Amino acid sequence: MFTPEEILQKSITAGVNKLKKPLLAQMILGFIGGAMISIGFLAYVRVTASIPNDLASVKSLVGGLVFPIGLIVILLAGGELATGNMMAVGSAIFDKQAKWSDYLKNLLIITLFNFIGAIFVAYFFGHVVGLTHAVPFRDAVIAVAAGKTKASFLSAFISAIGCNWLVGLAVWLSFGAKDATGKILGIWFPIMIFVAVGFQHSIANCFIIPAAIFEGGSTWGLFFQNFVPVYLGNIIGGLIFVAGFYYFSYVKK
């Protein structure tokens, strides 16, 4: 395991490298990132749908155990995820190796293609293939999406901060591990916890709420009403609570 000071330097380097990727690579890897997170959420739905509601804690734990596969694939095999970039590119910003305009441009591109990847999985794998169309999976998708969209702006915003604090830590820990096993463990537990406690993740919501829309259980208006506070909260969680806190704790000045 690398020291926190070494992890910080790796995070800065990773952030700079993300900005150097060609546009086509960002587009493809962004699509992969959105799709992989969505497949993790699809697995959550498939393994929890038949668990009774009076076992809600068990349902959350079981779903949390399978959800991390998405970020594991992204960080080990390759992919770009907006919420992870909020932290990694943020480290480069604090170290003055990137501009705020670079940060915003990267987030815009990656978020757009994360969204496309998420919609692809929600529509084709979920609706067309039928993985979210049959009972009890359809009911589960609609119920989970409703839980996301019924939150107030402030509640969704604060929940999203907690989410990306943990997602940012998962990325941070993956930078700190020296082998694949260490990376998987470092990613798994923070992601499992954010899912188990029900924090809001903007890209995951790009899957679950459209999946409910395709099944007739939500609307695009509710999606965008949810996306804005969650996305803003995710930025604060990754940029400030991980990149900022660790940069100003470990940078040598």
Q: What CATH number should be reported for the domain holding residue 75?
A: 1.20.1080.10
Q: How far is CA 39 from CA 30, 131, 178, 187, 188, in A?
A: 14, 11, 27, 16, 15
Listed in sequence order, the residues at least 6 apart from 155 whose beta carbon sits closer than 8 Å to its beta carbon are none
pTM: 0.96
Produce one character per residue of 77-94: b if its CB has 16 or more CB atoms within 10 Å, e if not: eebbbbbbbbbbbbbbbb
The total number of structural domains that make up the chain: 1
Domain that holds residue 191: 4-250
Please give the pLDDT value at position 122.
98
Instruction: Look up residue 242 and give its DSSP letter.
Output: I
The confidence score (pLDDT) of residue 124 equals 98
Per residue of the chain (253 residues), what is the pLDDT tens digit? 899 999 999 999 999 999 999 999 999 999 999 999 999 999 999 999 999 989 999 999 999 999 999 999 999 999 999 999 999 999 999 999 999 999 999 999 999 999 999 999 999 999 999 999 999 999 999 999 999 999 999 999 999 999 999 999 999 999 999 999 999 999 999 999 999 999 999 999 999 999 999 999 999 999 999 999 999 999 999 999 999 999 999 996 6
Give me the pLDDT at residue 252, please.
66
Residue 86, pLDDT score: 98
Judge whether 179 and 10 are in contact, CB under 8 Å.
no
Which pLDDT value is given to residue 165? 98
